[in-house]
Structure 1
Amino acid sequence: METATMTKIRVAIVSADAMTRAGLQHYLHSDRCLVETSIDRRDADIVVMAVDTINSSTMDLIGELSPGNSTRFLLIVDKHGHADFHLAVERGVRGVLRRHQCSRDAFVQALLAIADGAGFLPPSLQGVLMDQVRRMTREVLVPRGLTVPELADREVDVLRLLSYGFNVQEISNKLSYSERTIKNIIHSVMKNHNFRNRTHAVSFALRSGLI
C-alpha cells in the first residue's frame, strides 16, 4: 500500500528520438515508485539515456550531465560496440539494457536495482567488463607492483552477486545466509575500506580483479 512517506525515485530521460522517449516515459509512469523529472533540474536520482552505442560521444555527454560523476546512469543501447566499460562505470553508468531487451519489467527492475545501490548489466557485458578489468590488472597494476586490500571469501561472494544485480534477499537465498548477515557483510566491507556506497565497493572489486 502506498503511503505519503514512500520514497520516490526521480528519473530523467534523455533521448533524441521522440518515440523512444515516449515509450520509456510510459514504462516509467507505470510504477508508482518512479517519478519523472527534467534533466535541466539536475535533481535526478538516475538518468536514463537512450543512445545507439556506447562510445566517446556517449562518455562526453555523460560528463556534461554529471561533471562530478555523482549521477547514476542507465543506458538503453542498440549495440554496445567497443566501449571502455571501466570508464563508463567511473563516469556513473550503473546499468545497460539492449533496446530489444528493454521491456517494461526489465526497465523498472533495472531502475530499482540501481536505486538500491546495485548494478544492472546483461551477462554478455559483465563478461566484457571483467575481461577489461583483468587486462588492466595484468598490464597496469601488477607491473607497477600495486596491491589491493584483501577481502574475505564471503565478502567477495557478496560483492560479486551485487555486481550481477541481485538484491539482499536474493543474495541471502543464494549464499544461505540471513538477510541480516548479508547486510552486516556489506556494512563491514564499506566501513573497513572507506567505500562510499555499495556501487563504490563493487566498482573497486571489479577494478582490482577481485570479482
Structure 2
Amino acid sequence: MPKPKILIVDDDANLRAGLKELFEQSDVAGTIFEAADGMEALTLDSRYLPDLILLDVGMPMMDGIEACSALKKRRNDLKIIMLTSHEDDRDIFAALAAGANGYCLKDADFNRLEAAVNAVICGDLWLDSSIAQKVLSALPTPKSKTNQRKAVYAELSDRETQVLHLIVDGFSNQQIAEKLEISKETVKTHVRHLMDKLAVSDRTQAAVKALRYGLVSSNEPHID
C-alpha cells in the first residue's frame, strides 16, 4: 500500500517545516505538501489530490473549519485531521460537523500524530482523549453506567485492560507491542478480543467507550 500524500496547512511556517521534517523521517507519509491558509489549501488540494490534510483550526483568510467544509464538499472521501492549540468546545463540534475525521492537539507527541494519521487513513475517527471526553460529556449518560462498567471489567483480561489503556493514550499496535514486550500479532489478537467484548468495530470506538464508561481515564499515567 503506497504511503499517503499529506498536505500540511498552517499559517505558522516554522510549525509546517517542523512537521514536514518529522514526517519525512517517519514511515507514515509519502509526499508532503504545505499551505499557509485555507484558500491555498483548496488550490493545492485540486493540484495534488492529497490523501490526508492536516488543517490548522485558526488561520487568516479562510479558517480551518470553513476550509474543511469546502474541501469535504468537493471530495467527501478526503481525510482531514484538525490541528489546534486550544480545546475550544465550539471549534471541536464545528469541525466534526464540517466533516473532520480527526482532532489533534498541536502539543501532542509526534507519535500520537502518527497514530492519528494511521487511524484516519484506515477509515477510523481520531480524537485526542481529552477531546473525546468533551464530546462524550455532550452525550446522554447511560442510567446503568456503573453496572455496565462492572460487566465489561469482569470480561476484560488484565492484558486486554493494559492494551485498552494504551489505545486510549494513542499508541499504535507496533508501539503497544514494544511497550508491553510482546509481538505485534499478539497485540492484534488482544485488540480484536477487547473490541468483541466492548461490542465495537474499531479502535476509536473502543477508546471512546472506555472513556465514556470510566474504564480508563485520560489523566492516568502511561503504562511502563
Matches within 5 A, 1:1-211: 7-15=2-10, 17=11, 19=13, 23=17, 26-27=20-21, 30-31=24-25, 33-36=29-32, 38-40=44-46, 44-52=50-58, 58-59=64-65, 61-66=67-72, 71-83=78-90, 85=92, 91-98=100-107, 107=110, 109-117=111-119, 121=128, 126-127=129-130, 129-130=132-133, 133=136, 135-136=137-138, 140-143=140-143, 150=152, 152-153=156-157, 154-175=159-180, 177-190=182-195, 193=199, 195=201, 197-211=202-216
SS at the partner of 1:73?
A: strand
Q: Distance in 1 between matches of 2:191 and 2:48?
A: 29
Question: Is the contact made by 1:14 and 1:50 (CA closer than 8 Å) also made in structure 2?
Answer: yes
Q: CA deviation at 1:185?
A: 1.6
After superposition, the Cα gap between the structure-2 partners of 1:70 and 1:86, relative to the gap in structure 1 and judged at 3 Å, is farther
Q: Distance in 1 between matches of 2:179 and 2:19?
A: 34
SS at the partner of 1:75?
A: strand
Q: What is the alpha-carbon root mean square deviation over aligned residues?
A: 4.3
Query: What's the CA shift string for 1:50-106, capped at 9, x where partnerless?
Result: 2339xxx755543443369865433333433345757756841153214xx7xxxx5
After superposition, the Cα gap between the structure-2 partners of 1:115 and 1:81, relative to the gap in structure 1 and judged at 3 Å, is closer
Q: CA deviation at 1:14?
A: 2.9
After superposition, the Cα gap between the structure-2 partners of 1:112 and 1:41, relative to the gap in structure 1 and judged at 3 Å, is farther
Question: Is the contact made by 1:50 and 1:75 (CA closer than 8 Å) also made in structure 2?
Answer: yes
Could you tell me which amino acid in structure 2 is paired with residue 170 of structure 1? Q
After superposition, the Cα gap between the structure-2 partners of 1:89 and 1:190, relative to the gap in structure 1 and judged at 3 Å, is farther
Question: Is the contact made by 1:10 and 1:35 (CA closer than 8 Å) also made in structure 2?
Answer: yes
Q: CA deviation at 1:188?
A: 3.2
Alignment identity in percent? 21
Gaps of 5+ in 1: 1-5
Gaps of 5+ in 2: 34-43, 121-125, 217-224
Normalising by structure 2, we get a TM-score of: 0.57
Question: Is the contact made by 1:14 and 1:47 (CA closer than 8 Å) also made in structure 2?
Answer: yes
After superposition, the Cα gap between the structure-2 partners of 1:19 and 1:116, relative to the gap in structure 1 and judged at 3 Å, is closer
Aligned residues: 186
Q: Distance in 2 between matches of 1:202 and 1:34?
A: 28
After superposition, the Cα gap between the structure-2 partners of 1:96 and 1:127, relative to the gap in structure 1 and judged at 3 Å, is closer
Q: CA deviation at 1:184?
A: 0.6
SS at the partner of 1:49?
A: strand
Q: CA deviation at 1:176?
A: 5.3
Question: Is the contact made by 2:87 and 2:131 (CA closer than 8 Å) also made in structure 1?
Answer: no
After superposition, the Cα gap between the structure-2 partners of 1:110 and 1:128, relative to the gap in structure 1 and judged at 3 Å, is closer
After superposition, the Cα gap between the structure-2 partners of 1:166 and 1:23, relative to the gap in structure 1 and judged at 3 Å, is same
Normalising by structure 1, we get a TM-score of: 0.59
Question: Is the contact made by 2:52 and 2:80 (CA closer than 8 Å) also made in structure 1?
Answer: yes
Question: Is the contact made by 1:70 and 1:92 (CA closer than 8 Å) also made in structure 2?
Answer: no
Q: Distance in 1 between matches of 2:69 and 2:161?
A: 30
